[in-house]
Amino acid sequence: MTELIKDSQKSQPLVHGFLMFEYDDVKTAKSSDGLIEMQGIIQAAGKPNANNRIYPREILEREDKKYQELVSERRSLGELDHPDSPIIQLENVSHLVTETHWDGNNLVGTIEVLDTPKGNILSKLIDRKIKLGISSRGLGSTSRGQGGYDIVEEDFGLICYDMVSNPSTSGAFMDLKESVEYRTLLGQNKNILLDDLLNDILGL
């Protein structure tokens, strides 16, 4: 069975879906192993994202229903930045998705930042009002549709939601450079003193 799973993962490419994470209502986490929690849009149906991809609503609804089992068992973990693997590495986990719901064509999620090494970094970035992105990670295929957009196909399977700084492909990053979101992200990140941030983290 293990070999079959490995073969299946190798036959399908990783598919990332990037959105700027417009989080709000940041507050202290309810659980003892969390630092803070926040809420925002984690995926959008039927419209192009920053990776030039469109996720059909029916596919996202199907995968979100499957994802609820992980949410209920507190296994809906995510990493900080873009992993190149379909396996969630526990040493890189920074947060947990504790709830999702639909608001129109937007899938809204509640994110709990965990008291882990990567979670502490994420918490410091949020404290400093850094503009963050959220990226769905999954396995599946895409096809080129009208307008040059990549349409996510029926074989897509959601793995997790990662917190990231930019889209996962260089082409999408170039497309984003002229957007207001990218200029905001770049400007805010340039204003952060790296040494100061690391000192804060190490001083925890």
Beta bridge partners of 104: none
Show Cβ contacts of residue 174 under 8 Å, excluding neighbours closer than 6 positions: none
Quick one: pLDDT band at residue 174, thresholds 50, 70, 90?
very low
Between residues 73 and 11, the one the model is more confident about: 73
Q: Does 172 have pLDDT greater than 70?
A: no
Backbone angles phi, psi at 13, to 5 degrees: -75, 155
